[in-house]
Amino acid sequence: MLMPILQVNTEDIPPYAIVCGDPKRAEKIAGKLEDMRELAFSREYRTFVGTYKGVRLAVTSHGVGSPGAAVCFEELIRAGVKTLIRVGTAGSYHADVPAGSLVISTAAIRTDGLTRQLVPDGFPAVADSRVTEALLQSAMAAGEGVVRKGMTVTLDVFFNGVEEVPHQKYKAAGALGVEMEIAALYVVAALRGVRAGAIVAMDGFADSDLAAEYDPNTDTVARAVEREIAAALNAVAALADEEN
């Protein structure tokens, strides 16, 4: 069956998928796979399949923001994906988690609009514990650099308007940083009965003025993205190994 938005066929989609915002990052991840082929590039959704350490997986970009990303997660799940791992970037709240650090998101604070239209207030957005553990183990083995696990915030806003985003409150409540899709991933995965996890590379500090300061295109961030890609691929291999 053809998925109408991703434009991929169900029979081509394996049970594991790595998802990321940027179509170019999807291409970079796919470049690490054997027997790789591109299935479709439809809107912001670019999908590849291939093999890593003997495990078939899909890699799909989901674009920026929860509503569009949820379309991607839903169609991948409808096509047969049972484990999804997001490989993203995020802004940090903590000086000891600077740009270049990796964070594995155990849960997302839901400030987005999308999940409010899917589930009631109070419904948690949590990662699968086994996927989180596999990501943590593989991230620590993926080279030098800070690796942390903890809560992240999912926002809809990137550049500020006139309303203040309460970053200080999220930080005080224990969040490590902020990005824009993990809550959608965890809620959609819970609703559809599949497992999900997420790893993000910190690309700066979130509570500064992003318009003036934000630069995700540094060597430090690029190296962290390489480490998180390795971590996610090895987590997929470890999770598949457990199932055999």
Ligand X SMILES: O=P(O)(O)O[C@H]1O[C@H](CO)[C@@H](O)[C@H]1O
Q: Which two tokens stand for residue 37?
A: 């082929």
Cα–Cα distance between 90 and 150 in angstroms, integer? 13
Does 99 bind ligand URA (CB under 6 A)? Our answer is no
Q: Which stretch binds ligand URA (CB under 6 A): 140-148, 174-182, 189-197, 227-235?
A: 174-182
CB of 241 to ligand X, least distance (A): 26
Cα–Cα distance between 17 and 80 in angstroms, integer? 10
Cα–Cα distance between 113 and 26 in angstroms, integer? 26
- Measured from the CB atom, the residue of 137 and 214 that comes closer to ligand URA is 214
Which residue of the set 12, 112, 203, 241 is catalytic? 203
Closest residue to ligand X, judged by C-beta, is: 21
Residue 203 is among the residues annotated as catalytic for this protein: yes
Q: Which stretch binds ligand URA (CB under 6 A): 93-101, 133-141, 176-184, 234-242?
A: 176-184
Cα–Cα distance between 44 and 71 in angstroms, integer? 11
**75 interacts with, out of ligand URA, ligand X, none, CB within 5 to 8 A per kind:** none
What are the angstrom distances between the C-alpha of 101 and each of 109, 133, 173, 240?
Answer: 20, 17, 20, 26
Name the residue among 13, 62, 65 with its Cα closest to residue 39.
13
Does 179 bind ligand URA (CB under 6 A)? Our answer is yes
CA end-to-end distance (rounded Å), the chain = 27
Q: How do strand 55-61 and strand 16-20 relate by DSSP bridges?
A: parallel
Does 112 bind ligand URA (CB under 6 A)? Our answer is no
Residues 17-56 that bind ligand URA (CB under 6 A): none
Applying CB under 6 A, the residues found at the interface with ligand X are: 20-22, 64, 88-89, 158, 179-181
CB of 157 to ligand URA, least distance (A): 9
SS3 content of the chain, % helix, strand, coil (to 5): 35, 30, 35
Does 228 bind ligand URA (CB under 6 A)? Our answer is no
| CB-based contact 151:108 (threshold 8 Å) | yes
Residues 198-217 that bind ligand URA (CB under 6 A): 203-204, 206, 210
Q: Which stretch binds ligand URA (CB under 6 A): 39-47, 71-79, 87-95, 96-104?
A: 87-95
Cα–Cα distance between 215 and 133 in angstroms, integer? 30
**112 interacts with, out of ligand X, ligand URA, none, CB within 5 to 8 A per kind:** none
* Residues in contact with ligand URA by the rule CB under 6 A: 89-91, 158, 178-180, 203-204, 206, 210
* Positions marked active-site: 203
